[in-house]
A and B are shown apart, each in its own frame.
Chain A
Amino acid sequence: MSALVEARGLAAGYGGRPAIHDVTFAAGAGRTVAVLGPNGGGKTTLFRALVGELAPLAGSVRVAGRPAYVAQTERTRLDFPVSALDVAAMGALARSPWWLPVRGADRSAAAEALQRVGLEAEARTRFGALSGGQRQRVLLARALVQEAEVLILDEPFAGVDPASAERMDTLFAELRSEGRAIVVATHDVAAARDFDRVLCLNDRQVAFGEPARTLSRRVLEATYESEIVVLEEDDGPVRAVAVQHHEH
């Protein structure tokens, strides 16, 4: 099975200096990968390299088609006058010529995508007026319109209300069964156990593999260094809680 997204010996960074190095992983159709690591450890750098925003300083990156990238919503412009429908329709830019105005077919696809994420009622609402969870779902709707084979999501559940989170979980399961590859950066070590693979990143790649075998105490401590609290249980499985730092 050929991978939809893979990196080999990837190093990437800014101004000629690598922020991450020796990253090697692959994900095929219907596979989900959780990327774990501390803030500043390189998750966003990796995603920028996957999306093509950063050229690799070493190694290679290969992604099938144009990946859908859902960055943290704080990176979007909240005062820009666009509605939820407009944002979803932006996904069509990956499939149709950029110099033409939005076509009817693209608009229907956007409406359908909003329905799929449960936001058809907010289609005309200004994006900045939506809650955090709703904004995240609109960006997912954009990813759906894009019809990308690979989805790359940077902490999609951060600050999201439980109802939105549940909807997003359902959506991920659907996308998975449709054969898409999903790469998700997350701080939730417990949730990472439900993914097909985990990639532990802290400037360099600490580990990549199935969660059950990879998420050992040693790996987690190497990934998060002082930012992790590891709770050992008597009957074996290690539970770990990552300490989140809030950026000011």
Chain B
Amino acid sequence: MGAVPSPLDLLALPFMRTALVELALLAVAGGVLGVWIVLRRLAFFTHAAGAVAFPALVVAGPIGVSSQLAGLAAGLGYAAGVGGAGRAGRDSSAATGLLLVASLALGVVLASDVVRAPAGVDLLLFGTLLGLDGADVAASAVAAALALVATLVVGRAWLATAFDAAGARALRLPVGRLDAVLLALVATAAVAAVPAVGALLVTSLFIVPAAAARLITGSVGALFAASVGLAAVQGLVGLYAAYALDVSPGPAIAVVGTGLYACAALAGRSRGGATARAAAPPVLHARGRAR
């Protein structure tokens, strides 16, 4: 049995440093956008966005397009399609499910039989956190920046819509366009995360930390901070665990995330956890201080 690898190796090895930077960026993007995803009930949408990226990324190289561009096109196309169809009631989950399945099926057919690179399937589905290049990291940086800027600029409007959509319309907020922006942002950020954590596991950084944060915080400001913080911790612990146990990092981060959620659920008990009524998201005051 070898000795347990030192956490400092994470800083010494170049591909590890890249992974750490990527995880930090995804912690911001996923932590910030995750709050909106949880508040606006976009979990399935996000999961499907990751899946839609899969076939795009399979064909990107062979047809001579950068994978970032292909992914962007897929994400925006998906968001536009969903926005165009309207976020109407009960039928949307069936359609989202079928789109998800069709994307995954198309991707594997393209990968195995058209492009003939079947080994890439596992990597795209579960991520190659240790094999990223500069373009991947740059895309994540853009996603993180956009997430922060959008939240600062449009956040109050999004919050008002989350709390009371009809009331928001009455306030003359352009709800439709704001929603379109949110969908586009979530989709493209999710796609940017795919090379790192995999098309199937985008939600590990985009929903799990925010959900866990929801259980342990009460105010909106704390929610964002906790979400990003938990995402960062989750990424770090998951990466180290993967390194120490010699397993794939993307899945390891996902498992760690669910573990963190469980801890948050237990910790949040004392704040009135399991019997808490479905509280509306806390209202943001004019000065940005949450009640």
Contacts and interface: CB of A to CB of B under 8 A. Distances in A.
Interface of A: 15-16, 248
B166 A15 contact: no
A15 B272 CA distance: 14
Interface string B266-291: 00000000010100000000000000
A248 B164 CA distance: 12
Contacts of B166: 248
Nearest to A14: B277
Interface residues of B, number: 3
Nearest to B275: A15
A15 B275 CA distance: 8
A16 B274 CA distance: 13
A246 to B, nearest CB: 14
A66 to B, nearest CB: 30
Interface string B163-179: 00010000000000000
Interface of B: 166, 275, 277
Contacts of A16: 275
Nearest to A16: B275
4 A-B pairs with the lowest CB-CB distances in the bound complex, closest first: A15-B275, A248-B166, A15-B277, A16-B275
B88 to A, nearest CB: 13
Nearest to A15: B275
A182 B255 CA distance: 57
Contacts of B275: 15-16
4 contacts: A15-B275, A15-B277, A16-B275, A248-B166
A15 B166 CA distance: 28
A116 B277 CA distance: 45
A22 to B, nearest CB: 24
A166 B215 CA distance: 54
Contacts of B277: 15
Nearest to A248: B166
Contacts of A248: 166
Nearest to B166: A248
A17 to B, nearest CB: 10
A15 B277 CA distance: 9
A78 to B, nearest CB: 13
B244 to A, nearest CB: 44
B90 to A, nearest CB: 10
Nearest to B90: A79
A70 B144 CA distance: 54
B170 to A, nearest CB: 11
A205 to B, nearest CB: 25
A248 B165 CA distance: 12
A16 B277 CA distance: 12
Nearest to A79: B90
A248 B275 CA distance: 27
B14 to A, nearest CB: 54
A231 to B, nearest CB: 34
Contacts of A15: 275, 277
B112 to A, nearest CB: 40
B254 to A, nearest CB: 32
A224 to B, nearest CB: 26
A95 to B, nearest CB: 32
A38 B275 CA distance: 27
B111 to A, nearest CB: 39
B278 to A, nearest CB: 11
A248 B170 CA distance: 14
A74 to B, nearest CB: 15
A248 B277 CA distance: 21
B274 to A, nearest CB: 11
A15 B276 CA distance: 10
B91 to A, nearest CB: 10
A32 B245 CA distance: 73
Nearest to B277: A15
A117 to B, nearest CB: 30
A185 to B, nearest CB: 25
A248 B166 CA distance: 10
A18 to B, nearest CB: 15
A227 B277 CA distance: 27
A13 to B, nearest CB: 13
A16 B166 CA distance: 31
B42 to A, nearest CB: 24
B165 to A, nearest CB: 11
